[in-house]
Structure 1
Amino acid sequence: MTKESFSIHGENLLNKIKELIAEGNIRKITITDKSGKELMSFPLTIGVVGVLVAPVLAAIGALAALVGECTITVEREEQQNKS
């Protein structure tokens, strides 16, 4: 698994999370504030999109209204080459 981090402002948080979920190879997303305190963390497993993600997106939208700058850390499933 690989990790990647993005610094982002609260108003762009929800759109970035939606983009990441749409990519499909995300295993876990963690949101931390600028001091490094974890605000939210949630796993994404294959098939857990749509209805189950909607409450998480609502919570992220509320969080985005409260935070200024934050960091999103993404754990990605490594792509396996089929040669």
Structure 2
Amino acid sequence: MHDAAGELAAQGQMAVLGDATIVDRVGTQEAHRRRGLGNFVMRALADHAVDRGATLGVLGATDAGRALYETLGWTVQAPLAACVHRP
């Protein structure tokens, strides 16, 4: 989603795999926060997923993002740890 000047305001992506959808890279640019864009992006992704047969949604959330997701009915099932391994 872009603002009137064509700059990125909010974004999100998803992939439907069978009956599950994986939501990723949801975010709102700092200048556009607190305007409901994250809510709009998540609802648009959910509608798109349901139209494709998804009945389960999966995502990893930051602390800031989790607050939004919980207002939309998402629940925490397990904590997520960020790990990097470079053999």
- Which of the pair has the greater relative contact order for Cα pairs under 8 Å at 6+ separation? 1
- Higher strand proportion: 1
TM-score past 0.5 threshold:
no
Q: TM-score, normalised by structure 2?
A: 0.30
- Higher helix proportion: 1
Q: TM-score, normalised by structure 1?
A: 0.31
Give the structure with higher Rg (CA).
2
